[in-house]
Amino acid sequence: MRHARSSEVFEKAKRILPGGVNSPVRAFRSVGGEPFVVQRGEGAFLIDVDGNRYVDFINSWGPLVLGHAHPSVVAALHEQAQLGTSFGACHEREVELAEEVQRLFPSLELLRFVNSGTEAGMAVIRLARGFTRREKIIKFEGCYHGHADALLAKAGSGVLTLGLPDCAGVPSAAVSATLVAEFNNIESVERIFAACGDEVAAVILEPVVGNCGLLVPRPEFLAALRKITERHGALLIFDEVMTGFRVHLGGAQALYGVRPDLTMLGKVIGGGLPVGAFGGRREIMEQLAPLGPVYQAGTLSGNPLAMVAGLTTLQEWRKPGVFEMACGVAESLVEGLRSGAARHGVPLVAQSVGTMFGFFFSPTPICSFRETVSTDREAFQRFFHAMLDQGVYFAPSAFEAGFVSAAHAGEAINHALAALDAGFAAAARR
């Protein structure tokens, strides 16, 4: 593949953007080499500035459930742009999207839109503390809830990818009330509550972890968290920024039958535009200003372009058979990964939940953050570059989940499956 133009643009970017990027994982630091520079997206494909075409299994890190530049979403954006791109005032589209979200997530008795998952994470923590009048928060190793100071203890995503145990610039006081437990280990949670249960405002987690690879909850783990928090008067917060509408149309809470007190959402509800949301029990959400004493605000919250993109995306996504078709594509990919690895004698574990998938180069299942560090990252690096050379783009990190869209059926998945032998042949080399 030709990459001359991408290299030229990236060199210019490094002179004006830190590391040449606006988000760390894009820099390819954990896999080596340089990132390609995207020119456009079409359905399941990305096309770079050199004209190379890639099957995209990142989908802008989750929101593009319909694929790139879906005609209905583009048309809705065009119509709204002619009416105005930002109001900083109430408008009807934000109400319509809120109703659409609530239809699929009934636990959100009230909700509020923000501009990112990070904003949603900041807000739910402040709200939980304001409602319970407690300060301590329990999070889990490898779960990433945005880059707010209080939530960067043992975070996943780019923090793990770059090998940073925590984050420079975060005062110790900012994380002093953040307690860290082990995902899928209910005993680790019990120990914290036994020590200081009456000080814990909330437990926050990704119910299916997507930020240190894909980690699936063990049977009864989420239900046990629900019981513990109720017993101690703490809130249970599900970060469904990734899992919302992807592992199930009603999120992980519908898939596993566990109703949290508060929920974070994002990605899909923006249809590819920046957006986030949080919501939950009415009595908790009524603590927010202007109804209550917990302040949260945002000039661009409920941006009309993001609202119409999200509304159109959800309406298309929940049409009969669309979600199920995409789940089938994810299952086909996982089966292809398993069989391809077996043909080449490469230890691999792969799984999918709904339209999310993940794989680790490991001979044994990976169920927690601590186990991810034992996986073969060099094999992943070889696999990643071989697949990229074949025109298949997985996340440039061994610690990120992948995503399929409704557009991946047909040509895209067939191309990816045909390329896997080249990827695993490279992974098998020493």
Per-residue model confidence as pLDDT tens digits over 197-248: 999 999 999 999 999 899 999 999 999 999 999 999 999 999 999 999 999 9
Locate the domains of the chain by residue range.
Answer: 4-69+320-428, 71-317
| pLDDT at site 258 | 98
Report the pLDDT averaged over residues 140-157: 75
| pLDDT at site 224 | 98
- The CATH H-level (homologous superfamily) assignment of domain 4-69+320-428 is Aspartate Aminotransferase, domain 1 (3.90.1150.10)
Select which of 144, 154, 256, 376 is catalytic: 144
Select which of 239, 256, 261, 376 is catalytic: 239
- What confidence category does residue 147 fall into, taking pLDDT thresholds of 50, 70 and 90? confident
| pLDDT at site 151 | 78
Q: Could you tell me which residue, 67 or 267, shows the higher pLDDT?
A: 67
Helices (H), 89-214: 92-104, 117-132, 157-161, 172-175, 186-196
| pLDDT at site 162 | 40
Select which of 54, 267, 376, 393 is catalytic: 267
Residue 107 to residues 110, 138, 410: CA-CA distances in angstroms?
A: 9, 21, 36
Report the pLDDT averaged over residues 189-204: 96
Local structure of residue 215 (DSSP, 8 states)? B
The DSSP annotation for 131-155 comes to HHT--EEEEETT----S-GGG-TT-
| pLDDT at site 160 | 41
**Beta strands across the sheet bearing 356-360:** 349-353, 356-360, 402-403
Instruction: Find, among 267, 269, 315, the residue nearest to 72 by Cα.
Output: 315
Asked if 408 and 372 touch (Cβ cutoff 8 Å), the reply is no
Q: What H or E segment, with its residue span, contains residue 203?
A: strand 200-205
Report the pLDDT averaged over residues 328-348: 98
**What are 246-275's pLDDT values in tens digits?**
999 999 999 999 999 999 999 899 999 999
| 149 is annotated as an active-site residue | no
Percent of the chain's residues with pLDDT above 70? 97
Residue type, 342: A
Name the residue with tokens 């919250």: 301
Of the given ranges (142-156, 174-188, 214-228, 371-385), which has the lowest mean pLDDT?
142-156
pTM for the model: 0.94
Give the architecture (CATH level 2) of 71-317: 3-Layer(aba) Sandwich (3.40)
Task: Please say if the pLDDT value at position 164 is more than 70.
Answer: no
Task: Please say if the pLDDT value at position 398 is more than 80.
Answer: yes
| pLDDT at site 339 | 98
Task: Please say if the pLDDT value at position 156 is more than 50.
Answer: no
Q: How far is Cα 415 from Cα 326, in angstroms, rounded to an integer? A: 16
| 144 is annotated as an active-site residue | yes
| 239 is annotated as an active-site residue | yes
Q: How far is Cα 208 from Cα 253, in angstroms, rounded to an integer? A: 10
